[in-house]
Amino acid sequence: MVVAMAAGMLVLHPAWTLAIAGTAPTSVLRSVEVDTIVMATAMSVPMVAWMRYRGHGWAPAWEMSLAMYAGFIVLYPLHWAGVVNDAAVMSYGHVLMLGFMLLAMLLRRHEYTTAHHDHHRTSLEKIRDPASTRLSS
């Protein structure tokens, strides 16, 4: 999941930076709040795709995405109060994100400690044979 997140951060977030290149430095599009939400989105999209490919359900994928946003959002009040600056929100938010993701994994231990072999089967195959939970090796 972390590799997918990093890929999104390295590919999608620079696209956002290019998209807002012509905006004024004081534009809301350049605020730390918008930047961190875009960052979390850029990381969540490939992570959810990878989780779904690996056979995880939608609920764990959304919870993991929420954990990524939460890492930043919990810092906004501190930023607004002047306790942390923009750079701190971005860097500490990434650290907190991992902590929230760990919490999400601990709350669904079974989801993250068992093999998900179903990712090789198409949706149509799963519908035709819903009782089968294993693939031959």
Please report whether residue 108 resides in a domain: yes
Please report whether residue 127 resides in a domain: no
pLDDT tens for the chain, residues 1 to 137: 788 888 888 888 888 889 898 899 888 998 999 999 999 999 999 999 998 998 888 999 999 999 999 999 999 999 999 999 999 999 999 999 999 999 998 988 887 777 655 555 555 455 555 554 444 44
Please report whether residue 137 resides in a domain: no
Please report whether residue 2 resides in a domain: no
Instruction: Show the domain range for 85.
Output: 30-112
How much is the pTM? 0.74
End-to-end CA distance of the chain: 24
Contact between residue 42 and residue 13 where contact means Cβ atoms under 8 Å apart = yes
Q: What angle do CA 48, 50, 55 make, to 5 degrees?
A: 95
Please report whether residue 44 resides in a domain: yes
Query: Tokens 């977030």 sit at which residue?
Result: 13
Contact between residue 64 and residue 1 where contact means Cβ atoms under 8 Å apart = yes
Cα(47)–Cα(105) distance, integer angstroms: 14
Please report whether residue 77 resides in a domain: yes
Q: What is the largest CA-CA distance in the chain?
A: 58
Cα(131)–Cα(75) distance, integer angstroms: 45
Please report whether residue 8 resides in a domain: no
Q: How many domains does the chain have?
A: 1
Cα(38)–Cα(16) distance, integer angstroms: 8
Please report whether residue 117 resides in a domain: no
The first and second tokens of residue 38, run together, are 């875009």
